[in-house]
């Protein structure tokens, strides 16, 4: 068996859908059983391949939402209006049905606990999915003693994924939800894009490692802000869902 984080040598593997959990009106998490899954590292993704009865195939990438857990993998799928694959995965694929996955993929946007210094996570929309794998791995490791901040940007409160997990008591990470269009009552920050003001007060550049994930525009905006604030480029890792 290949080491954790290395792709299975055979390429495509059968993945059976075992559970679907609603996260938002258009987003859900899907758990699959993949016999002989080689394991993975937080931040990695898989390619999912669908094959129609006439042989037509479509392949899309989806991030792994949880640390390695035997033969079970968890993905988070945001439904893209008019999209070919995501509405099918989010709405139509029945529990018990099979697709194919290839992975784990990606060797740059990965976090390896413990002892890698303060962890700064920036997620836009469903870009929080691979960050959730890092957060969950951190919770399970000794690295939970090191500072960790998740800055999570969503249009409004109805778009927050993992609301229950993030609010779970007893964890040491600092979760900051920034609303870009409309905020729930009681918020003092005016809705809007992330600014230098939102970055001020985060663990200082230096030992901190930054992970930024989401739509291309979000990733470029946040990576630019971080660099302008003094975070070195080589400590900012990005993943674009564009
Ligand atoms: C490394 C990586 C990780 C990712 N992880 C995730 C993840 O964890 N969760 C997640 O939800 N997504 C993730 N994505 C994005 C995902 O791979 C898909 O791109 C996304 O789900 C959309 O796929 P789709 O088939 O539904 O849409 P597509 O069919 O690819 O369509 C995309 C857009 O193009 C438009 N479009 C399609 N066809 C046409 C046409 N003929 N003319 C005009 N417009 C058209 C659609 O309306 C839609 O807006 C990731 C991407 C990458 C690269």
Per-residue pLDDT tens digits of the chain, which is 242 residues long:
455 555 555 599 999 999 999 999 999 999 999 999 999 999 999 999 999 999 999 999 999 999 999 999 999 999 999 999 999 999 999 999 999 999 999 999 999 876 678 999 999 999 999 999 999 999 988 656 789 999 999 999 999 999 999 998 888 899 999 999 999 999 999 999 999 999 988 888 888 899 999 999 999 999 999 999 999 999 999 999 97
> Which residues on neighbouring strands pair with residue 93, listed in sequence order?
none
CATH of segment(s) 12-105: 2.40.30.10
**Helices in the chain by DSSP H: which ranges?**
86-87, 128-140, 163-167, 196-199, 216-228
Range(s) for CATH 2.40.30.10 in the chain? 12-105
pLDDT at residue 207, rounded to an integer:
82
pLDDT at residue 157, rounded to an integer:
96
State whether residue 67 is helix, strand or coil: coil
pLDDT at residue 8, rounded to an integer:
55
Q: Which numbered atom of ligand 1 lies nearest the CA of 109?
A: 1
pLDDT at residue 173, rounded to an integer:
92
Tell me how far the alpha carbon of residue 185 lies from the centroid of ligand 1, in angstroms.
33
- Residue that is written with structure tokens 């400590």 in the block: 235
pLDDT at residue 143, rounded to an integer:
59
For a ligand 1 pocket test, name from 82, 93, 124, 130 the mutation site with the most ligand atoms within 8 angstroms of its C-beta. 82
- Single out the residue of 59, 158, 156 nearest to residue 100, CA to CA: 59
- Residue that is written with structure tokens 């999209």 in the block: 83
CATH of segment(s) 119-240: 3.40.50.80
- Single out the residue of 183, 172, 165 nearest to residue 66, CA to CA: 165
Residue nearest to atom 19 of ligand 1 (CA): 60
pLDDT at residue 201, rounded to an integer:
83
pLDDT at residue 230, rounded to an integer:
92
Handedness of CA 182, 201, 118, 61 (dihedral sign): positive
Q: Which numbered atom of ligand 1 lies nearest the CA of 63?
A: 8
Specify the DSSP class assigned to residue 235: G
pLDDT at residue 145, rounded to an integer:
76
Range(s) for CATH 3.40.50.80 in the chain? 119-240
Q: Which numbered atom of ligand 1 lies nearest the CA of 86?
A: 26
pLDDT at residue 9, rounded to an integer:
56
Lining ligand 1 with CB less than 6 A are 45, 60-63, 76-78, 80-86, 126, 129, 239, 241
pLDDT at residue 1, rounded to an integer:
45
- Residue that is written with structure tokens 């993704």 in the block: 45
Tell me how far the alpha carbon of residue 48 lies from the centroid of ligand 1, in angstroms.
12
């Amino acid at each position: 068996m290949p080491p954790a984080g290395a792709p299975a040598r055979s390429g495509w593997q059968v993945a059976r859908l075992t559970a679907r959990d609603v996260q938002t009106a258009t987003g859900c998490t899907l758990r699959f059983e993949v016999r002989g899954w080689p394991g993975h590292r937080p931040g990695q993704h898989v390619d999912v391949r669908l094959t129609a009865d006439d042989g037509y195939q479509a392949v899309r990438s989806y991030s792994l939402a949880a640390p390695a857990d035997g033969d079970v993998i968890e993905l988070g799928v945001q439904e893209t209006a008019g999209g070919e694959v995501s509405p099918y995965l989010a709405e139509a694929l029945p529990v018990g049905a099979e697709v194919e996955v290839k992975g784990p993929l990606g060797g740059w946007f990965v976090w390896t606990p413990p002892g890698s210094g303060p962890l700064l996570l920036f997620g836009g929309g469903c870009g929080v999915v691979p960050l959730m794998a890092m957060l969950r791995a951190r919770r399970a490791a000794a690295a939970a003693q090191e500072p960790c901040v998740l800055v999570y940007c969503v249009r409004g409160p109805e778009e927050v994924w993992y609301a229950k997990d993030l609010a779970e008591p007893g964890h040491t990470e600092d979760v900051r939800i920034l609303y870009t269009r409309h905020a729930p009552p009681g918020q003092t920050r005016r809705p809007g894009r992330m600014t230098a003001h939102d970055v001020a007060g985060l663990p200082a550049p230096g030992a901190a490692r930054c992970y930024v994930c989401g739509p291309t525009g979000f990733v470029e905006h946040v990576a630019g802000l971080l660099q302008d604030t003094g975070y070195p480029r080589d400590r900012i890792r990005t993943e674009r869902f564009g």
